[in-house]
Amino acid sequence: MTDLKKRILVTGGAGFLGSHLCERLLADGHDVLAVDNYFTGQRDNISHLMGNPHFEIMRHDITFPLYVEVDEIYNLACPASPVRYQFDPVQTTKVNVLGAVNMLGLAKRLKAKVFQASTSEVYGDPTVHPQTEDYRGSVNTIGPRACYDEGKRCAETLFFDYFRQHQLRIKVVRIFNTYGPRMHPNDGRVVSNFIVQALRGENITIFGDGMQTRAFCYVDDLIEGFVRMMATQDDVTGPINLGNPVELPMIHLAERIVELTGTKSRLINHPLPVDDPMQRCPDISKARDTLGWQPIVQLDEGLSRTIAYFDHQLAAGFFNT
């Protein structure tokens, strides 16, 4: 428990990452106000927190101004999977840009620290590997993923303009692939896709030849990075990469999940989606040096916890519709 109790706003608080962050902040002894419009967030993710007198949930869309009193703001609100953010690309751009403007405006009024959950997608399909924070990216501004990629890039621009123009205390992290319990089963992310298909005994979908790589960070490790970043001195603004520096081909991830679940599912190949990066892996030197942070949960351990979560949800019939 922390010595200094704070009232903390978490936008996207009913989402995958947001719910874990709310849980952590409550465990650290803070009061937490979560806001979510439930476009991708789910009440089930935070139902176990509802009875906590230090937790409050508000239905709100941050593309509209929010008037609350808090000490710190974590801005996590935005669909994070291609299936979800491409469903309504205009709204995705709005929540990234207008949402950032509204949270920055709130932080300016309150003189509060404000944290931006940015993404490795700002690097696009990278020509530098692994990706360092000074790499400017290779992004298709008019492709189907641009609503998210460019929306997040614009949000970073706004954060640093508020920092320079208004001396706002900002914290920006770039999140690489993260997985764990409370991922949505139908959001198109590779870990949840593979696990749900394996548990149902369905064919496991491999896009392309399966040799494109990703680096997977377990959610508990990521949240630890968030909290450490928010606790840094005011001159630490980021952006800082948070993710696992050990990359893995998609086909190897699928084979590992087949082994851990004991499924008889077969691997089948589908065409690679448009603008899907072939490599994605963070250089986390800055996170190690500045935050003293690096992932500690090994892949098999994290996958086993995630498989157990999805197995329970499937058995309870939560994903049958």
DSSP 22-72: HHHHHHTT-EEEEEE--SS--GGGTGGGTT-TTEEEEE--TTS------SE
Which tokens in the block code for residue 31? 């009061």
Q: Could you give the CA distance from residue 297 to residue 312 in angstroms, rounded to a whole number?
A: 21
Per-residue model confidence (pLDDT) at position 223: 98
| Cα Rg of the chain (Å, integer) | 19
pLDDT beyond 80 at 277: no
Q: Could you give the CA distance from residue 316 to residue 12 in angstroms, rounded to a whole number?
A: 25
The confidence band for 132, taking pLDDT boundaries of 50, 70 and 90, is very high
What is the pTM assigned to this prediction? 0.94
Question: By the 8 A CB rule, do 216 and 253 touch?
Answer: yes
The confidence band for 56, taking pLDDT boundaries of 50, 70 and 90, is very high
pLDDT beyond 60 at 1: no
Per-residue model confidence (pLDDT) at position 2: 52
pLDDT beyond 70 at 308: yes
The confidence band for 316, taking pLDDT boundaries of 50, 70 and 90, is confident
Tens digits of residue pLDDT in 138-157: 888 999 999 999 999 999 99
Question: By the 8 A CB rule, do 187 and 40 touch?
Answer: yes
The confidence band for 45, taking pLDDT boundaries of 50, 70 and 90, is very high
pLDDT beyond 70 at 208: yes
CATH no., domain 7-180+218-245+280-297: 3.40.50.720
Per-residue model confidence (pLDDT) at position 320: 56
Q: Identify the active-site residue in 74, 85, 123, 148.
A: 148
Query: What is the mean predicted confidence (pLDDT) over 261-275?
Result: 88
Q: Could you give the CA distance from residue 306 to residue 183 in angstroms, rounded to a whole number?
A: 9
Share of the chain above pLDDT 90, in %: 81
> What's the Cα-to-Cα distance from 308 to each of 16, 196, 295, 313, rounded to whole Å?
16, 11, 21, 9
Give catalytic status of residue 148 as yes or no: yes
pLDDT, averaged across the chain: 94
Per-residue model confidence (pLDDT) at position 321: 45
Give the Cα-Cα-Cα angle 225, 7, 56 (nearest 5 degrees).
100
The confidence band for 280, taking pLDDT boundaries of 50, 70 and 90, is confident
Which tokens in the block code for residue 153? 């890039």
Nearest to 57 by CA among 99, 98, 106, 48: 48
The continuous run of DSSP H or E covering 288 comes out as helix 285-291
In one-letter notation, the amino acid at residue 108 is K
The confidence band for 4, taking pLDDT boundaries of 50, 70 and 90, is confident
